[in-house]
Amino acid sequence: MLLMVTDLTRRKLLNYVLATSPRGNCYGIWNSNSRELLEIKPLADVSGAAVINKQWVLNSGSGSIAYVSVTRQSKRNQTFIIWDNHWFSILAVKI
């Protein structure tokens, strides 16, 4: 999955591209202007990606959820849910 952030409301992630590789058990972050690879990190069976609260949120088939910021700091939670790549964020609107 490839996630390119261009929404101006998410300025901290603007000009970055995050790609996941489930078979490679990793994800990568690139600077979209310079095309420089900034980081590749391991995450078993990583697949889905979304942007929530100015950070990337990744899921994996092993049940992990990773929160990754543009400063490339990350936090992981382990769940009992086996995620797939059909993840996206939805803006909640009060009706």
Per-residue pLDDT reduced to its tens digit, 35-90: 999 989 999 999 888 888 778 889 888 888 899 877 666 677 777 777 666 665 55
Task: Confirm whether pTM is higher than 0.85.
Answer: no
- Dihedral sign for Cα 2, 45, 88, 8, please: negative
The pLDDT value recorded for residue 25 is 94
Question: In this predicted model, which residue has the larger pLDDT, 5 or 80?
Answer: 80
Question: In this predicted model, which residue has the larger pLDDT, 89 or 22?
Answer: 22
The pLDDT value recorded for residue 7 is 46
Distance from C-alpha of 73 to C-alpha of 87, rounded to nearest angstrom? 21
* Cβ atoms of 40 and 26 closer than 8 Å: yes
